[in-house]
């Protein structure tokens, strides 16, 4: 007599679930593009828009532009910045200029002209907008000029006789010494840093804001060599002092 056959339970059909998953995937792009409006600079994909406020991704986006020279120039082209590209100077002995621009018209004028790498200029462009907002909050006025001590300089770190090259040696750094205001005031890092005054509070906020945009920010808090300026650069690691 044959043994009774075992009846195997039927495996639930997964096809409906698969269809739903594929349908959702097919709708994801249209939803992102038409229904879900993500503000510019708030998503890791898409173009960086320098005339829109930076997000918490700002420093990551600046570093991404550093890795993609064509995208960096395109970002500057889409902004209101007026600039010209600087002819290539191949890096020799640690000094040179690659993917460097010369700003012609910025949101805030600078005390003198300078050359900067394209990614450094994108960070500066965003920084100018943030500085104006901080000036209104802490000083009740606007900034009419940024005083700087230079960007490109073929030298070592801290101008030492030996050691590694500074980010200045490739125009990837700038030193900010102070600010001129619309009401006639002048703010100096040397004079006003670490004071319980509107000017001192503005400088503290300006240093903190810079840390969200630049890789390395050195203030008078770092050492005596930076007593009169903020050093801002896009070196290969993050430091905020």
pLDDT by 10s per residue, the chain, length 241 = 444 554 455 545 455 555 544 454 444 444 444 456 788 899 888 899 999 999 999 999 999 999 999 999 999 999 999 999 999 999 999 999 999 999 999 999 999 999 999 999 999 999 999 999 999 999 999 999 999 999 999 999 988 888 899 999 999 999 999 999 999 999 999 999 999 999 999 999 999 999 999 999 999 999 999 999 999 999 999 999 9
pLDDT of residue 46: 86
Q: Is residue 184 part of a domain?
A: yes
pLDDT of residue 20: 47
pLDDT of residue 78: 97
Q: Distance (Å, rounded) from C-alpha 223 to C-alpha 227?
A: 7
**Sign of the Cα pseudo-torsion (135, 139, 143, 149, in order):** negative
pLDDT of residue 186: 98
Q: Is residue 170 part of a domain?
A: yes
pLDDT of residue 30: 46
Structural domain including 188 reads 44-240
pLDDT of residue 47: 93
What domain count does the chain have?
Answer: 1
Q: Is residue 15 part of a domain?
A: no
Q: Distance (Å, rounded) from C-alpha 121 to C-alpha 131?
A: 15
Q: Is residue 4 part of a domain?
A: no
Q: Is residue 34 part of a domain?
A: no
Q: Is residue 22 part of a domain?
A: no
Q: Distance (Å, rounded) from C-alpha 144 to C-alpha 184?
A: 9
Element (H or E) spanning 176, and its range?
Answer: strand 173-181
């Amino acid at each position: 007599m044959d043994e009774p056959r075992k009846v195997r339970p039927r495996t639930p059909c997964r096809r409906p679930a698969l269809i739903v998953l594929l349908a959702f995937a097919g709708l994801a792009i249209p939803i992102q593009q038409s229904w879900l409006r993500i503000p510019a600079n708030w998503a890791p994909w898409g173009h960086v828009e320098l005339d829109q406020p930076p997000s918490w991704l700002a420093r990551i986006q600046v570093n991404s532009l550093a890795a993609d020279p064509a995208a960096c120039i395109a970002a500057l082209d889409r902004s209101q910045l007026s600039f010209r590209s600087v002819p290539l100077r191949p890096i020799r002995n640690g000094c040179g200029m690659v993917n460097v621009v010369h700003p012609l018209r910025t949101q805030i004028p600078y005390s003198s002209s300078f050359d900067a790498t394209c990614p450094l200029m994108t960070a500066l462009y965003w920084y100018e907008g943030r500085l104006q907002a901080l000036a209104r909050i802490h000083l009740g006025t606007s900034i009419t000029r940024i005083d700087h001590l230079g960007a490109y300089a073929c030298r070592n770190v801290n101008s030492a006789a030996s050691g590694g090259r500074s980010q200045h040696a490739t125009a990837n750094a700038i030193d900010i010494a102070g600010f001129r205001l619309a009401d006639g005031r002048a703010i100096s890092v040397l004079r006003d840093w670490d004071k319980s005054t509107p000017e001192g509070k503005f400088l503290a906020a300006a240093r903190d804001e810079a840390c969200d945009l630049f890789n390395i920010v050195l203030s008078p808090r770092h050492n005596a060599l930076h007593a009169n300026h903020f050093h801002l650069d896009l070196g290969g690691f993050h430091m905020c002092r």
